[in-house]
Structure 1
Amino acid sequence: MLKTEIIAGLEVFSCLPSRKSGKPALLFVHGAFAGGWMWTETFMPFLAEAGYPCYALSLRGHGGSAGHEHMDWHSIADYVDDVKTVVDWLETPPVLIGHSMGGFVVQKYLEHRPAPAVALVCSVPPQGLIAAQFHLLLSKPHLFLELNRILSGEYTDTATLREALFAGEADETMLAAWLTRMQNESHRALLDMTMFNLPNLFTMHRPPMLLLGAEEDVLVPAFLVQTTANTYGLHAHIFRHMGHAVTHEKEWPLVAATLRDWLEDLRL
């Protein structure tokens, strides 16, 4: 059963197993333009069913969290502080799972604290956003311009959303729901991810790490997920025929099952 509460001004969703299993808690960190809601319909119930207590926060200025009035002033460091707040609220340190910008925030968190394990899903690489931005500008200039409109808080449509986030079939009802919940993102945070606050690889804790990407992702292309894997000396699992929103692609259970199986193998 899904529950929502406010912790120090932050919206936190929880979905718990029907009985205690002794398995570690999972904390999901969303990407840009989104909120904790993006995990609640798919990954959280799937992994709670497997025995994992699941939590997802909405970073400040996102979803039901406080801070919308100062959106453009929020930094990546602020988002890291939000993750710390929720980690401190939980009884034990959780496994951190970050999508897109959330994956970048998780990498920055590791500069300050250890974690039992980390999963980066279609994550912004430690080298930042520049390569992704140029790739999108050159390959899909119309989409690049449309995403800048969203950043400015302007309206888009389901066709643009489908092209940006999905490779396979996307249910129109789901797309319409996403459209009502998506929002503008902090310019400051995007600049931090571009060049001003990149992860310090020499000071980061290095827990077990899972790297997942999507073959047809136009926002964080698969070659950048592979760049992240090379940086950390790991293998990247790239899902074929999927786009950036692997949490809601038709075949999302394949991604969630890969995450579950990796967690089981870790025996945390």
Structure 2
Amino acid sequence: MSAPTPIVLVHGLWIHSTSWQNWMEVYQQAHYRPTAPGWPGDGDTVAATRQNAAAVANHGIEAITESYRRVIDTLDAAPVVIGHSFGGLIAQKLLAEGRARAAVAIDPGQIKGVKPVPLAQIRSGLPVLGKPGNKKKAVSLTRKQFRYGFGNAIPKAESDDLFERWAIPGPGRPLFEASSANFSRTSPAAVDTKNSNRGPLLIIGGGKDHTVPEVVAKAAWKLYRGSNATTEYQVFPDRGHSLVFDHGWREIAEYTLAWLERQGI
């Protein structure tokens, strides 16, 4: 019997890696070997990260991606990388580099070449982008900001609960890097979308997402038209940015499991 395929789960900005716990259990039951490392500077718990916000400050997309490269280097086989939000951007980078067997990018952060910038996305990014000095700082969302950016498609009480359970300070640098990517020749948000030698990629969008509006996720998918590798797109029309850890997480997790099975993984 072959060894279980490793799964590397990559969280996004403002959310702790322990938010993947339900996914870890589902993937273990499906005979995969999941792991969910945090970003550089993250504490082992939500509380520890909140207490030492300065530790996460000033880490950009390349530093975060490199931390996951090091994780992958310790594995005995190429993993499937599943990322949410900025984790979805990182998953695409790792797949294009040949470090992943396949990747799933859920509500992925904006890669270089994506042009739509909806008003909802601008409003969601203002807590960071509204102050240039935030680029080198750690920034925390308020409960109200979390409600708009993550919890707008779920009841307010659930949004507030998720905020208390999973929200952590995040580095401002990745948002500045992604927002300026189309004006930079060498942006860390760049992904080789023309690579035809990579493994399969699934991009998932949320129809009610404010932080990464569905038009942004779909625009990323369209950038892969120059590649002959498998690239699929799926939208969940009624879901917001909290879709991987709110009450409807199982629907998304099971869809990704079924997709991997269709890829023969």
| Fold shared, TM-score > 0.5 on shorter chain | yes
Letter in 1 for 2:80: V
Q: 1:62 to 1:209 in 2, by over 3 A?
A: same
TM-score between the two structures when normalised by the length of structure 2:
0.78
State the distance in 2 between where 1:253 and 1:85 align.
29
Q: Is the 8 A contact 2:129 2:176 kept in 1?
A: no
Q: Is the 8 A contact 1:118 1:207 kept in 2?
A: yes
Moved more, 253-262 or 143-152: 143-152
Identify unmatched segments of 5+ residues in structure 1.
1-19
State the distance in 1 between where 2:125 and 2:40 align.
25
Letter in 1 for 2:37: L
Q: CA RMSD in A?
A: 3.1
Q: 1:167 to 1:193 in 2, by over 3 A?
A: same
Match of 1:252 in 2: 249
Match of 2:261 in 1: 264
The answer to whether 1:243 aligns with 2:222 is no
Match of 2:7 in 1: 26
Residue 265 (structure 1) shift: 1.4
Q: Is the 8 A contact 1:146 1:156 kept in 2?
A: no
Match of 2:40 in 1: 60
2:87 match: secondary structure = helix
State the distance in 1 between where 2:113 and 2:56 align.
21
Q: 1:187 to 1:154 in 2, by over 3 A?
A: closer
Residue 182 (structure 1) shift: 2.0
Cα-to-partner distance string for 1:79-103 (whole Å, 9 max, x where unaligned): 1111011112222221000111011
1:58 match: secondary structure = coil
* Percent identity of equivalent pairs: 21
Q: 1:245 to 1:21 in 2, by over 3 A?
A: farther
Match of 1:231 in 2: 223
TM-score between the two structures when normalised by the length of structure 1:
0.77
Q: Is the 8 A contact 2:93 2:192 kept in 1?
A: no
Cα-to-partner distance string for 1:168-196 (whole Å, 9 max, x where unaligned): 43483673353354223222222222223
1:199 match: secondary structure = coil
State the distance in 2 between where 1:132 and 1:219 align.
10
Match of 1:89 among 59, 74, 93: 74
Q: 1:63 to 1:173 in 2, by over 3 A?
A: farther
Moved more, 42-51 or 103-112: 103-112
Q: Is the 8 A contact 2:128 2:172 kept in 1?
A: no
Letter in 1 for 2:188: N
The answer to whether 1:36 aligns with 2:33 is no
